[in-house]
């Protein structure tokens, strides 16, 4: 059994149990999943049910927890680094080689730049993409 938190087109949230995700897909696809509050068949799957995602004390964080951490990490990176755009690769390399004072920077790189920087041992990290907005 799997529990989904569903949302109808009138923004009602409700939980429903299904045998498995395929069962949900076929029932919802056929319009057989109705909102208990307004009867709308226009429902979409929301985030996983709280009894799955709320295990914050366990070693494995749920998807919302990971999303929250990524969002925080992204916000920190954005707040504490200077965007140097396409100069990133050169500046990161110069800092690594001591040709330039260290400063926290972010910028644009190509896949080739990333590969080259890694090969030279220049420590770089990807900035996580902007997460999808929750509604
Ligand atoms: Zn509804």
Number of domains within the chain: 2
Distance 117 CA to ligand 1 centre (A): 52
In the prediction, which pLDDT does 62 show?
Answer: 81
In the prediction, which pLDDT does 49 show?
Answer: 47
Who wins on pLDDT, 1 or 99?
A: 99
Residue 132 inside a domain? The answer is no
Distance 95 CA to ligand 1 centre (A): 57
HEC states along 4-73? EEEEECCCCEEEEEECCHHHHHHHHHCCCCCCCCCCCCCEEEEEECHHHHCCCCCCCCCHHHHHHHHHHH
Picking from 104, 99, 106, the residue whose alpha carbon sits closest to that of residue 85 is 106
Structure confidence at residue 117 as a pLDDT band (50, 70, 90):
very high
Q: What is the mean pLDDT of residues 25-52?
A: 82
In the prediction, which pLDDT does 10 show?
Answer: 93
Distance 14 CA to ligand 1 centre (A): 9
Rounded to a whole number of angstroms, the distance between the first and last alpha carbons of the chain is: 26
Distance 107 CA to ligand 1 centre (A): 45
For the chain, what percent of residues have pLDDT higher than 90?
39
Residue 6: which domain range? 2-48
Residue 131 inside a domain? The answer is no
Residue 54 inside a domain? The answer is no
Q: Are residues 44 and 74 in the same domain?
A: no
Q: Are residues 67 and 115 in the same domain?
A: yes
């Amino acid at each position: 059994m799997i529990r989904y938190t569903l949302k109808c087109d009138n923004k009602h949230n409700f939980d429903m149990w299904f045998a498995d995700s395929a069962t949900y897909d076929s029932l919802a696809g056929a319009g057989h999943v109705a909102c208990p509050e307004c009867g709308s068949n226009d429902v979409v799957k929301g985030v996983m049910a709280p009894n799955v995602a709320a295990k914050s004390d366990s070693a494995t964080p749920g998807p919302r927890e990971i999303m929250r951490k990524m969002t925080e990490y992204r916000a920190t990176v954005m707040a504490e680094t200077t965007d140097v755009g396409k100069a990133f690769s050169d500046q990161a390399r110069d800092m690594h080689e001591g040709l330039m004072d260290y400063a926290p920077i972010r910028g644009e790189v190509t896949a080739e730049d990333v590969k080259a920087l890694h090969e030279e041992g220049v420590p770089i990290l990807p900035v996580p993409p902007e997460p999808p907005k929750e509604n």
